[in-house]
Amino acid sequence: MEKCVVMARLSPPNLTGSTVGKWSVGSMFLHPVRRERMYNCVCECGAEKVVKAGHLQTGKTKSCGCSWTTHGKSYSNEYRIWDSMIRRCHLKTHRAYESYGGRGIEVCKEWRSFEGFYKDMGDKPDGLTLERIDNSLGYSKENCKWASVTEQARNRRTTKLNENNASLIKSMISIGITQTAIASQFGVSRANIGHIAQGNTWKTL
């Protein structure tokens, strides 16, 4: 009579509490559809992600992706702002390209890399977002700042300026009326009046 040999099925190891590469492995759960084991993980850079057990066991994943960069800020607010800026200005398939890259708004060469952007702008202050001082110009150190929503709304009102208004503004500047007073009269930011005064916008007038 042949003997039947029953092989014991080994239970998969519990990785909770262990460290895999830059991952600190947290609680395990079963995927609701595929029924495979998943772990809640936290990367050294602070990013949180759900990772397959198999990927942790085989070493297929060792970090959130920050290891691929030298800045370690792949999941930061600053990186997301930079990435969005690059995409809407230079990726023709982006939903906002027509309003940015499609009308000539570009990112300066220095800011084509995140490191260049971060060097100039630093950390994003709480409650502020990236703002172009002059909406007719592209993204650069000279034309960008961290601004509040109120400041941005005011700056966007420059779209009300037309050739006649711009010509009048130049005349008012020439007779010594302050840029602050002119900005208040036309309901635009002082920075935009400054760009008109410097000849950065409405150059043909």
Based on the domain organization, do 52 and 81 belong to the same domain? no
Sign of CA dihedral 164, 166, 169, 170: negative
Coil/strand/helix, residue 31: coil
Looking at the 3D structure of the chain, how many domains does it have? 3
Based on the domain organization, do 99 and 61 belong to the same domain? no
Q: Mean of the pLDDT values across residues 17-23?
A: 90
Based on the domain organization, do 83 and 138 belong to the same domain? yes
Residue 154 counted as domain residue: no
Based on the domain organization, do 87 and 142 belong to the same domain? yes
Average pLDDT value over all residues in the chain: 82
> Could you say which of 48, 68, 88 is where a domain stops?
68
Q: Lowest-confidence range among 102-111, 117-126, 144-153?
A: 144-153
Res 66: pLDDT: 66
Confidence label for 158 from pLDDT (cuts 50, 70 and 90): very low
Based on the domain organization, do 142 and 176 belong to the same domain? no
pLDDT digits (tens, 9 = 90+) for 92-107: 888 888 888 998 999 9
pTM for the whole structure: 0.47
Distance CA 50, CA 68 (A): 19
Based on the domain organization, do 45 and 81 belong to the same domain? no
Residue 26 counted as domain residue: yes
Residue 50 is part of which domain span?
19-68
Based on the domain organization, do 62 and 81 belong to the same domain? no
Based on the domain organization, do 143 and 164 belong to the same domain? no
Based on the domain organization, do 95 and 134 belong to the same domain? yes
Residue 124 counted as domain residue: yes
Closest CA to 161 of 131, 205, 130: 205
Based on the domain organization, do 91 and 56 belong to the same domain? no
Sign of CA dihedral 109, 115, 119, 123: positive
